[in-house]
Amino acid sequence: MTTEISATLAQTHPYDLLAPDERDALAGKVGRRTMAAGDVIYAIGQPVTELCLILSGRIEITDQDGDLLSILGPRNSFGERGLMRDGIAPVTATATEPGEMLTIPADVFRALVAAHPRILRFFDRTRPASARRQDVTTMALSALMTRGPLTCAPETPLIEAARKMRELGVSCIIACEGQSVRGILTTGDITSRAVAEGLPPRTPVAQVMTPDPITLPPAALVADVLHKMVERGITHMPVVEGGRLVGILTQTDLTRFQATSSAALIHDIAAASDSAALARAARRIPDLLVQLVSAQNPHQVVTRLITDIGDAITRRLLALAEEKLGPPPVPYLWLACGSQGRQEQTGVSDQDNCLILDDAATPPDDEYFAALAGFVSDGLDEAGYFYCPGDMMATNIKWRQPLRVWKQYFRGWINRPDPEAQMLASVMFDLRPIGGAESLFPDLHAETLAAAAKNSIFVSHMISNSLKHHTPLGLFRGFATVRSGEHKNTIDLKHNGVVPVVDLGRIYALKGELTEANTRARLLAAIETGVVSTSGGRDLLDAYDMIADTRLAHQATQIKRGDPPDNFMAPADLSDFERSHLRDAFVVIKTMQNAAGSGRGYLN
């Protein structure tokens, strides 16, 4: 019997990776059992004591509500999720017809994967990332910033501040009240604003400093600093967490590192004199995407850097519009929604944007803002961010309104959640300020989140709406591919892979009043705050990472071939390993969708 089992293993992946003597040794430890139709191999919450390899028959995998997740046939294994987590079954496995299976005891299985990384990678859905090239621009500020920067009170005499800077050999001092940043004074400020103007030595720092400087949190990327420095012409970046100053990163700190091509691209964007120059810069984005993916950067880094470029193009167009049209009649705020709002842009993006105007705006003022919206949207289209097919743009007067109207919009969507309201809310809950008076947004954002979270009917409608995007799961570990047309035999990694997770992340954010707009950040916050169970949330995060990484790799491959990138990938282009794990990722998403739909998708 051992010889027969060894021969079966030799014809089954990943056991075919073993040397013959190792496979024979494993065969001697493998059991064999029969199953009858209706046998429950294990149920949710029960211990998983062995890995099962089907020889004949069929196994149905179902979730807590009895919804079918998968049908497994001969040469399919099951039980690895429980064995590689906490030893507890996350699903139910039931035989639907008589058959046989091989069983590998838990301790034997764990020893097997521990000794063979390639077999571990097959069974471990999370696929530990291979070593990535260390790139300073993708590091967090916390890794490079100078902690405990030099500070002073705003009323400190200029000469005392300058002496402190000289004593410590630093180029800036932060003016603080308590731990709150009020301004920054650099050696350049002292030269150009104090000495050159002949100010008295005891002039308060507050009169010379740059007030309310741009700051970033320690979790931001170094690339974020580079982009801000290049775009805004600044050389120092205070690092603030929870309203408290925790560090400083200066241009001098970065001189020993080469700026990435994304920073160089933003430099050209900031200097662009017209929309044609911006379009030329944007044409370099596909090459940047290939470079970032080739360097094995995770999807959240790639999409952040790509989105930074879209943000910079938008802000430059706003500046060019004001140069052409003159100063705005009232303060305004340009916001992005959709993938740009979530900082998740890839090589394929249209534009979704809107304008919030100060409540002092009058009807005649709309002539100016209509012209501004047209200039910016036309420039974005020229740069490759195509017009939104649904007209979700600031060029549509509906999405170019005073703050009070926007508040009415959100109240109406929340109180009367019809299908159109659900669709609009799904887009608009991903808003992120890009340029203009950011003070117009925080109150709207906070009030909307609070009102939405308290309205259980609205949240229920949003959940129902989110479940309309189905994962591409077929039977017998296959994929439900597009059946006809231009994309026949492919799966849509965006609408059937990424979007379902985006929808779930948005639901968690509403339920927990989480302020994050980025999907991955929403999932992490939902796990940390208990909005979603730790095990379910971690599984969903792993699944999202796998699908999003696969999507970017697919687009990078298309670009390298000279083809325009899209979201339609043929499963046949993947290896057995990749297909198996990608399908597992879709199973996780479907499981979490079912949990959300049944009301179990939140607290433990």
Q: What is the pLDDT of residue 258?
A: 44
Backbone φ and ψ of 165, nearest 5°? -65, -40
pLDDT tens for 8-61 read 888 887 888 888 888 889 999 999 999 999 999 988 888 899 999 998 888 888
Q: Give the model confidence (pLDDT) of 541-596 as tens digits.
A: 999 999 999 999 999 989 888 889 999 999 888 877 788 889 889 999 999 998 88
Closest CA to 41 of 103, 125, 106, 86: 103
Percentage of residues of the chain with pLDDT beyond 90: 50
Output the CA torsion sign for 415, 421, 426, 430: negative
**Residue 58 CA: distances (Å) to CA of 32, 51, 73, 257, 585:** 16, 16, 5, 57, 21
Query: What is the band of 499 on the pLDDT scale with cuts at 50, 70, 90?
Result: very high
Domains of the chain: 2-123 (2.60.120.10), 136-259 (3.10.580.10), 467-597 (1.20.120)
- Note the pLDDT tens digit of each residue in 174-202: 999 988 999 999 999 999 999 999 999 99
Tokens (6 digits) for 214:
């741009």
**Bond preceding residue 14 cis, omega within 30 of 0:** yes
pLDDT at 379 > cutoff 80: yes
Q: What six digits make up the tokens of 511? A: 């339920």
- Span between the terminal Cα atoms of the chain, in Å: 45
260-312 pLDDT per residue, tens: 467 778 888 999 999 999 999 999 899 889 888 877 788 998 999 899 999 99
Q: Where are the beta strands (DSSP E) in 23-86?
A: 31-35, 40-42, 50-62, 68-72, 77-78
SS (H, E, C) 325-350: HCCCCCCEEEEECHHHHCCCCCCCCE
State how beta strands 172-177 and 151-152 pair.
Answer: parallel
Cα four-point dihedral sign 535, 536, 538, 542: positive
Encode pLDDT of 397-443 as tens digits: 999 999 999 999 999 999 887 878 877 888 888 999 999 999 999 99
